[in-house]
Structure 1
Amino acid sequence: MAKAICIIGESGAGKTTSLRNLNPEETFFIDADKKGGSWKGFRKQYNSENKNYEATDDPTRVLALMKNISEKTGIKYVVIDTLNGIMIGEEMRRSKEKGYDKWMDLANHIYSILDIVSKLREDLTIIYTAHSETEYEEDGVLMTRMKTSGKKTKRLIPESKFNVVLLAKSINGRYIFETHSNNSTAKTPFGAFEEDEIENDIVPVLKVLEEY
């Protein structure tokens, strides 16, 4: 079983930028948003020549890439940026369809992309990014969670598939990760992080999580 991390946050909160210090020689970047990275030099680090980049929001292709990377490469990290890119891409491709099946298929695609982690090699880490949304619960409390397309996908509660969910935030020009729930679905293993807020950099996070 591979490890899985989810980074959620609003647009501009630093989700993709937090990946800037990953080693490109050990990382494959699946660009479902088709916009590239948000730091200088991204295109030189990740491209088809280096065989570590593909822009696709096709869920079938994403699954095939994940399986191939696990079985045939020594890659250590797979980035999927973002899950919402896959959801929206599939929703738009089937925008003229009506009825239950379309939304059930969409939920099944997302479930498969999350569930495949259990079938991948154990020294592989999948880093998913996703947009967040903040809305009121039935008891009137604001809750920040992963933004999803369709009621079926929301009912999956995607964060339940992760032991690690980091909430990326930009506060007064400072970019941070929220590590524990504060009216959000953020969570990390017990004792892994004492601080509620840590630096927006996935590499130190990965080093801490190696023990878990």
Structure 2
Amino acid sequence: MSRAILVYGESGSGKTTSLRTLDPERTFIVDADRKGLSWKGWKKQYNGAKKNYTQTSSVPTIEAIYQKMQGEWADKFDTLVIDGLTTIMVDDEMRRAKERGFDKFVNLAQCVWNIVSDAHLLRENLTVVFIAHSLTEHDESGYQWTHVKTGGRKLDKIVLESKFTTVLWAKSLDGRYVFVTQADHSTAKSPMDCFEKEIPNDMAAVIAALKEYEEDDDNDAETK
């Protein structure tokens, strides 16, 4: 089972920028938003010639990339980033715009659910990072709640965050870009005692902390 991480936040909250610390030689990025990355020099690090970057929101193409991660790319990459889960949902909905009937909405939900579920079935030494937009809602009493923005009520009922043990809320606070790691009127969560409540938006550091946490868990299990 792979290590899966979900990052969500508003536009400009540092979600994509958090990837800047990853090793380009060991990372493959799927840019579903097709907007490029967000730091100086990224085109030299990630491009078609290096075969570590592609722009697509096609579900079959992403599933094909999963298969390559299990096969010919197994020794090349240890991190896979799907940057634009929300865009994948929207684009799939647009492709099905002329479809009619209830089944359309079931298929829309199943499509995204499968991408997330299948990622968990990839090899153990692979980390899969999903990036999505957030939605903040308020009820009549003024209570505020921030969660992943989805493509419809069926996905809202399923709750995509339930498929992850690590869900990071990207925020910009007084000029600082951080991840919130525990629920604060949100669906943010992480393994107990793995992180402080707020941490820098450094994806390499996040993955390193999770690996160390898992190793400590394994050592504890062996001594019992």
- In which range does the TM-score fall when normalised by the shorter chain? over 0.9
Asked if 1:83 is matched to 2:85, the reply is yes
- The gaps in structure 1 that reach 5 residues or longer are none
TM-score (norm 1): 0.95
- CA deviation after TM superposition for structure 1 residue 140, in Å: 5.1
Question: Contact conserved, 2:33 with 2:55, CA < 8 A, in 1?
Answer: yes
| Matches of 2:131 and 2:124, distance apart in 1 | 20
SS in 2 for 1:177: strand
SS in 1 for 2:21: coil
Change (3 A) 1:207 1:92: same
- The aligned amino acid for 2:110 is N
| Aligned residue in 2 for 1:7 | 7
Provide Cα deviations, 1:97-155, integer angstroms capped at 9, x if missing partner: 23212211111111111111332110000000000001135875211000001111211
Task: State the superposition RMSD in angstroms.
Answer: 1.3
Provide Cα deviations, 1:164-202, integer angstroms capped at 9, x if missing partner: 000000112111110110010000100101x21111111
Question: Contact conserved, 1:70 with 1:124, CA < 8 A, in 2?
Answer: no
Q: Greater shift after overlay, 115-124 or 136-145?
A: 136-145
Asked if 1:199 is matched to 2:206, the reply is no
SS in 2 for 1:17: helix
Asked if 1:124 is matched to 2:151, the reply is no
Asked if 1:158 is matched to 2:194, the reply is no
Q: Greater shift after overlay, 127-136 or 116-125?
A: 116-125
| Matches of 1:139 and 1:4, distance apart in 2 | 35
| Matches of 1:198 and 1:30, distance apart in 2 | 25
Question: Contact conserved, 1:18 with 1:201, CA < 8 A, in 2?
Answer: yes
- The aligned amino acid for 2:207 is L
- The aligned amino acid for 2:16 is T
| Aligned residue in 2 for 1:42 | 42
| Aligned residue in 2 for 1:113 | 115
Question: Contact conserved, 1:14 with 1:170, CA < 8 A, in 2?
Answer: yes
| Matches of 2:71 and 2:139, distance apart in 1 | 42
| Matches of 1:153 and 1:49, distance apart in 2 | 36
SS in 2 for 1:13: coil
| Matches of 1:99 and 1:28, distance apart in 2 | 37
Q: Greater shift after overlay, 116-125 or 3-12?
A: 116-125
Question: Contact conserved, 2:4 with 2:120, CA < 8 A, in 1?
Answer: no
- CA deviation after TM superposition for structure 1 residue 11, in Å: 0.6
Question: Contact conserved, 1:31 with 1:80, CA < 8 A, in 2?
Answer: yes
TM-score (norm 2): 0.90
Q: Greater shift after overlay, 90-99 or 170-179?
A: 90-99
In the alignment of these two chains, the number of paired residues is 211
- CA deviation after TM superposition for structure 1 residue 70, in Å: 2.4
- The aligned amino acid for 1:175 is Y
Question: Contact conserved, 1:178 with 1:197, CA < 8 A, in 2?
Answer: yes
Provide Cα deviations, 1:3-40, integer angstroms capped at 9, x if missing partner: 10000000110000001010011000001101110111
Moved over 2 A (4+): 96-99, 136-141
